[in-house]
C-alpha cells in the first residue's frame, strides 16, 4: 500500500480534525472568558472589538510561512498530518527537519526519496509528535522558576538577556541550516539557502529605504518563496 493512501485517507482526516477542533474549542472558550473578564473590569466593548480585530489581522503575517510550509510538507507527508502539526504546537522549521531526520536515519536521501514508505511515514509521525512535546513539559514544571531567574537576570544585568536570547536564536538557526549548507554535494540546498538569505537582506534594505515596514514583516515568507523558486530554476537549468 502506498503510504499516501493512508496519509490522505478519511481516517487520518477524522483523527486530525478532532484534535484541531478541540484546540479551536479551547480558543473560543479563552476568547469568551477574556471578553467576560473585560466587561467585568469595565473595558469598553468598542475597545475590546478593536483589540480582537487587530489581533486577528496581525496574526495573518506570522502565519504565512506556516502556510507555505504546509503546502511543501503536504507533497510528501499528505494533506492532513502536516495540517495537524502546524495547527497545534508544530513549527515550520521543526516539522520538515524532524521528518527529514527520520528519512535519512532509514537510509533515504530525505522525505522526497521514492523509498519513503508507510513504516517510515509512521516513524516520522511519532518523531514529529514526541520530539516537540518536551518544551510544553518543561514549561509545566519549570517555567515559573525560569521566569524568576529571568527577572533577576534583567535586574542585575539588563544587557545580558538580549545578548543571550540572540545567541540562542542564532545557534538554533545554525543547527538547522548547517546540515544543508555544509553538504557541498547538495548544490540545490546551498543555492536555495543563499537565495533566501539575499532575499531577507534585500527586504530589509527596501523596507528601510521606502519606509514600508510591511516589507520587512513579510521577509520570512518572501525568502521562503524565493528559496523554493531558486531551487526550481536551478534544477531545470542545470
Q: What's the total number of domains in the chain?
A: 1
Percentage of residues in the chain having pLDDT higher than 90: 29
Residue 188 lies in a domain: yes
Residue 25 lies in a domain: no
Please report how many Cα atoms fall inside a 13 Å half-sphere around the Cα of residue 84, on the Cβ side: 19
* Long-range contact set of residues 10-19: C-beta below 8 Å, sequence gap at least 24: 12/78, 12/80, 12/81, 13/79, 13/80, 16/80, 16/81, 16/83, 16/84, 17/80, 19/84, 19/88
**Please, what's the b/e burial string for 195-207 (b: 16 or more CB within 10 A of its CB; e: otherwise)?**
bbeebbeebeeeb
DSSP 182: S
Cα separation of 135 and 132, whole Å?
Answer: 6
What does the pLDDT average to over 39-65? Answer: 80
Residue 208 lies in a domain: yes
Least reliable range by pLDDT among 80-89, 151-160, 208-217: 151-160
Within 10 Å of residue 30's Cβ, how many Cβ atoms?
A: 10
pLDDT at 162 over 80: no
What does the pLDDT average to over 10-39? Answer: 93
Q: Give the model confidence (pLDDT) of 68-105 as tens digits.
A: 788 888 988 999 999 999 888 877 778 888 888 999 99
Q: Which residues contact 127 (CB under 8 A, 6 or more apart)?
A: 98, 99, 101, 102
Least reliable range by pLDDT among 89-93, 125-129, 168-172, 223-227: 89-93
- pLDDT grade for 157, boundaries at 50, 70 and 90: low
Residue 218 lies in a domain: yes
Residue 7 lies in a domain: no
Q: Give the model confidence (pLDDT) of 177-201 as tens digits.
A: 777 778 788 888 889 889 988 998 9
Considering only CA atoms, which of 2, 17, 1 is closest in space to residue 81?
17
Residue 122 lies in a domain: no
pLDDT at 58 over 90: no
**Please, what's the b/e burial string for 45-72 (b: 16 or more CB within 10 A of its CB; e: otherwise)?**
eeeeeeeeeeeeeeeeeeebbbebbbeb
Mean pLDDT of the chain: 85
Q: Which residues contact 149 (CB under 8 A, 6 or more apart)?
A: none
The whole model's pTM is what?
Answer: 0.68
pLDDT at residue 126, as a whole number: 93
The answer to whether residues 82 and 121 touch, using CB atoms and an 8 Å cutoff, is: no
Residue 27 lies in a domain: no
Q: Write out the three cell numbers for 71.
A: 503546502
- pLDDT grade for 61, boundaries at 50, 70 and 90: low
The answer to whether residues 86 and 69 touch, using CB atoms and an 8 Å cutoff, is: yes
pLDDT at residue 62, as a whole number: 66
Residue 37 lies in a domain: no
Q: Phi, psi (5° rounding) for residue 207? A: -65, -40
Domain extent, residue 201, equals 159-238
Q: Write out the three cell numbers for 155.
A: 535586574
pLDDT at 55 over 80: no
Amino acid at each position: 500500500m502506498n503510504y499516501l493512501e493512508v496519509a490522505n485517507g478519511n481516517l487520518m482526516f477524522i483523527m486530525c480534525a478532532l484534535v484541531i477542533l478541540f484546540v479551536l474549542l479551547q480558543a473560543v472558550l479563552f476568547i469568551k472568558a477574556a471578553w467576560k473578564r473585560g466587561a467585568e473590569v469595565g473595558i469598553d466593548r468598542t475597545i475590546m472589538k478593536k483589540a480582537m480585530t487587530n489581533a486577528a489581522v496581525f496574526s495573518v503575517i506570522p502565519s504565512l510561512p506556516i502556510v507555505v510550509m504546509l503546502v511543501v510538507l503536504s507533497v510528501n507527508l499528505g494533506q492532513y498530518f502536516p495540517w495537524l502539526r502546524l495547527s497545534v504546537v508544530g513549527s515550520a522549521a521543526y516539522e520538515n527537519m524532524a521528518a527529514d531526520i527520520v528519512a535519512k536515519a532509514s537510509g533515504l536521501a530525505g522525505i522526497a526519496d521514492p523509498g519513503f514508505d508507510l513504516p517510515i511515514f509512521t516513524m516520522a509521525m511519532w518523531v514529529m509528535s514526541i520530539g516537540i512535546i518536551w518544551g510544553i513539559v518543561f514549561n509545566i514544571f519549570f517555567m515559573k522558576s525560569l521566569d524568576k531567574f529571568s527577572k533577576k537576570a534583567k535586574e542585575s544585568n539588563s544587557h545580558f538577556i538580549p545578548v543571550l536570547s540572540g545567541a540562542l536564536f542564532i545557534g538554533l538557526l545554525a543547527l538547522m541550516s548547517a546540515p544543508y549548507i555544509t553538504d557541498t554535494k547538495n548544490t540545490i540546498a546551498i543555492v536555495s539557502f543563499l537565495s533566501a538569505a539575499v532575499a531577507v537582506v534585500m527586504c530589509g534594505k527596501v523596507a528601510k529605504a521606502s519606509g514600508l515596514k510591511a516589507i520587512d514583516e513579510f521577509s520570512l515568507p518572501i525568502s521562503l518563496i524565493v528559496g523554493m523558486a531558486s531551487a526550481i530554476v536551478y534544477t531545470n537549468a542545470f
